[in-house]
Amino acid sequence: MRSSAFFAGLQVPAQCVVHSGNNDCVEIRVPPLAAYALLGGAIAEANGEPLSLLDVIREPIGMLLDQLHASSTWEHRFAAVDRFLARGFAESKRRVPPELTWAWETLDHSHGQVPIRALARAIGWSERHLIDQFRVYFGVRPKATARRLRFSYAFDMLSTHPGSDLSTIAAHAGFSDQSHMTREFQSFSGVSPGVLRMARFDDLPGIPAAVLRNP
């Protein structure tokens, strides 16, 4: 799709972003609890493909894009993003139920290693109700959330612990073994942990597109 501002939900797989030459962009990583306050049900709709933010909050995003285009320094651009986020959170009346907030934070802090049944029992919900509420507010089931969190934790450890072997990272991240971790990396990123460990831009987010095209 063509978009100057897009949002990718928890179910969106790795994306290859193509541009015509020089490209300036700002990546904002908004936790799902905050994303619901900012974007509401749009985060549940962004399940399989990125969602254009101009289709969700056209006027605020349009103003932000104008400010980013008009700014000549990254300091001014980051300040514009800060103002956009602060205004959006201050004006929003949308809130995630406290039980669901606790369940999400517990799952997040454990890097996806708390059983879903235990979460439901702790807050006094049935497992089915917990699953339904996750889908309403986050657009993803809790088990899929746990998978994403384990992958993210392992992905971070690839960078922060370059000397660790992959089997050790797999064990810390809650995978049954290194093969299990490799399968999950293939599912979420399209390449193996070893390939991702070597694929880094020096000063940019993301990974080189050539890695995704030729794993």
* Domain CATH code at residue 109: 1.10.10.60
Residue 214 has pLDDT above 80, yes or no: no
pLDDT (0 to 100) of residue 202: 52
Last residue of a domain, one of 45, 66, 91: 91
Question: Looking at the domain assignment, is residue 82 inside a domain?
Answer: yes
Judged by average pLDDT, the poorest of 14-28, 72-86, 182-196 is 14-28
- Same domain? For 198 and 141 the reply is yes
| Domain of residue 43, residue span | 6-91
- Same domain? For 103 and 199 the reply is yes
pLDDT (0 to 100) of residue 215: 46
- Same domain? For 67 and 145 the reply is no
Kindly report the number of other CB atoms within 10 A of residue 155's CB atom: 17
Backbone dihedral angles phi then psi of residue 206, each to the nearest 5 degrees? 80, -170
Domain total for the chain? 2
Last residue of a domain, one of 74, 91, 108: 91
102: its two tokens: 């606790």
**pLDDT tens sequence across 32-82:** 888 888 888 777 766 667 888 888 888 989 999 999 999 989 999 999 999
Query: Which ranges of the chain would DSSP assign to H, the alpha helix?
Result: 32-39, 42-45, 58-70, 74-91, 98-109, 116-123, 127-138, 142-160, 166-172, 178-189, 193-198, 209-213
- Same domain? For 87 and 103 the reply is no
Last residue of a domain, one of 75, 91, 107: 91
- Same domain? For 133 and 194 the reply is yes
- Same domain? For 74 and 116 the reply is no
- Same domain? For 86 and 107 the reply is no
